[in-house]
Structure 1
């Protein structure tokens, strides 16, 4: 049986999610972002926080045009003011510089994060200024392709869950989706 079919069959045990699956179709083969390098995925997540996809894309394109990419040495080579000129907030520039610093200093080794548990990654990234739980959860899903992440703080997931499940117990429902909660998130986002 293919991985996609396995995921769909597992999640379809939930009759509400089965209806969404029937409407939306198969999940993507891989959750990982097309950005590739884990640091770049995380930097892109920071840029896109609390913005529409269109606005985030426009700002990211300006940042890349200025820096040549979203790697630590590229971002750190530019001043706070230069990055602000691309449309980034003060907080986002500070976060991108803080992320770049922990990478360049070796405090966080983005090349080996895939070998660590979700909790170990949380413990490394949450102390970085401006990095919160939601950002790390999105990074785990899209930067590292982790398949069993649910992000309870995600606004869109909250809305989708309320629309589909009403007052049902979040923990009780999402536990049944394991080990494919990241794919369930994908379906919930598509349900909006």
Structure 2
């Protein structure tokens, strides 16, 4: 969990480095990133479920899957490792997602994948380790680093919402190279800056120029 003092320091850093982002912070702060504690396994499962879905659809499917596997509060490896694939599909998961979830749950139970070990790695090494798992690409790995490991300096270039908000914030399009240059000034708090850009998506903000 990211503590309040760290988030306050991040807000101050971002406000002083970027006047445009300062407007978002004034409108939507303080940042509450990391305020909900979930197990790393649960966060990874929900990240897989959320892939290519609207938030509403993902929430509905997640609730159905949890009901099918008897997970009262959050997913556990034991609740998913031996789940009936057809039951998972009936809950709304694609065949691929059902297979990925049960595969990862099995790896955790047998000890071939460890969240504790993952937490000791630097950002890029952790992303590469997660990317080797079935169903996990770079975007999913980056979301996991932000929301499960509390890594503070992640900007997901492949996140469509972030890229649209970045373009709107500055009033011009950014290719990958331009986005990297633009967000470099937010280091070492690019995850917090991302949280504010997501608020821009949520609120459908207008011109922040």
Same fold, judged at TM 0.5 (above): yes
Question: Could you tell me which residue of structure 2 aligns to residue 45 of structure 1?
Answer: 47
Match for residue 79 of structure 1 among 49, 64, 84 = 84
2:101 & 2:167 partners in 1: Cα distance?
Answer: 33
Equivalent runs, 1:173-188 vs 2, <5 Å: 173-188=182-197
Structure 1 unaligned segments of length 5 or more: list them.
Answer: none
Question: Could you tell me which residue of structure 1 aligns to residue 181 of structure 2?
Answer: 172
- TM-score for the superposition, normalised by structure 2: 0.84
Structure 2 unaligned segments of length 5 or more: list them.
Answer: 202-209
- Post-superposition offset of 1:15: 1.3
2:106 & 2:129 partners in 1: Cα distance?
Answer: 13
Moved over 4 A (4+): none
Match for residue 14 of structure 1 among 15, 18, 22 = 18
C-alpha distance after superposition, 1:131-182 (max 9, x if no partner): 1000000000001111111100001001111111223521112111011100
Q: Is the 8 A contact 1:137 1:151 kept in 2?
A: yes
Q: Aligned pair in 2 of structure 1 residues 51, 33: CA closer, same or farther (>3 Å)?
A: farther
Count of residues paired in the alignment:
190
- TM-score for the superposition, normalised by structure 1: 0.91
- Post-superposition offset of 1:111: 3.1
1:94 & 1:183 partners in 2: Cα distance?
Answer: 33
Aligned alpha-carbon RMSD (Å): 1.7
- Post-superposition offset of 1:33: 4.3
